Amino acid sequence: MTRTAFFISDGTGITAESLGRSLLAQFENVEIHMITKPYIDSVEKAHQLAAIIESTAVKDGEQPIIIDTIVDSQIRDVIRDAPGFKVDIFSTFLEPLEQELATHSSYSVGRTHAIGSDDVYMDRIQSVHFALDNDDGARTHQYDQADIILVGVSRCGKTPSSLYLALQFGIRAANYPLTEDDLDETGKLKLPRALEPHRHKLFGLTIDPRRLAAIRHERRPNSRYSSMDQCVQEVTQAEALYRRMHIPFIDTTRFSVEEISTRMIAETGINRRFSPR
């Protein structure tokens, strides 16, 4: 079964899409074509979109699913008249909240993802810059400013996790690659000297060697770097180092970057500078 879902907003569409994807992910047996339509902020745009929704219903032979966070009542009325199964997030939740709080909502477009506090916004930007500046062991002299330092073999998810922690939570995350240069004379992976003073900040990432080989093959096909033997060796050595040094770690193979990051926060108890938006 295939259905089309529209995520519609008069703002960025991030809230409608995030909630919509979370809801629709529960239906594994249904193939859903997802379309995000942000900034539907005029009646004219609403009518144009309603026509698209109508033509989609004819083409699919099924009414589309419409998940929206439209604030403006006139625009919402146009979308409501389009053929589709409607999930109106704001009216579903805001009206009961208004009754409970005994006050009216401001019904302001874009409040969730507005800049808001300048301090919070600048902290977010600075955290992202920190993650970029301290990617892949680039500036180890800044590790005293890091909230967390991710370690792991190449292509196990360190960079995207660092950036997600920065952008979503304002966490200053550095990351350091474990390579053959860190092997000792016995062939064991040793803790790099730059990380020694910051052991309490370390968090390890590991990955299934087969998945790692597939990822590396996309970057350097048919190379020693992407070979199964090399991937098995590196992952085995990294995990042995984590256990020997009592470094907490997580297997990233089946987790999204969101899950990796939130699991790290839960396990380490690291403080978020702000809530995700």
Size (the chain), residues: 277
Closest by CA to 182, choosing from 244, 226, 227, is 244
Check whether 153 is labelled as a binding-site residue: yes
Check whether 254 is labelled as a binding-site residue: no
Check whether 157 is labelled as a binding-site residue: yes
Check whether 152 is labelled as a binding-site residue: yes
Instruction: Please name the residues in contact with 99: beta carbons below 8 A apart, sequence gap of 6 or more.
Output: none
Check whether 59 is labelled as a binding-site residue: no
With b meaning 16 or more CB within 10 Å and e meaning fewer, what string describes 226-248?
beeebbebbbebbbebbeeeebe
206/196 Cα distance (integer angstroms): 20
Check whether 159 is labelled as a binding-site residue: yes
Query: Angle at the Cα of 113 (from 127 to 149), degrees rounded to 5?
Result: 20
Show the tokens assigned to 97.
């909240």
Burial of 29 (0-12, 13-18, 19+ CB in 10 A): exposed
| Residue 267 Cα distances to 129, 195, 254, 270, angstroms | 25, 20, 18, 8
Closest by CA to 68, choosing from 56, 76, 77, 58, is 76
Binding residues for ADP: 152-159
Binding residues: 152-159
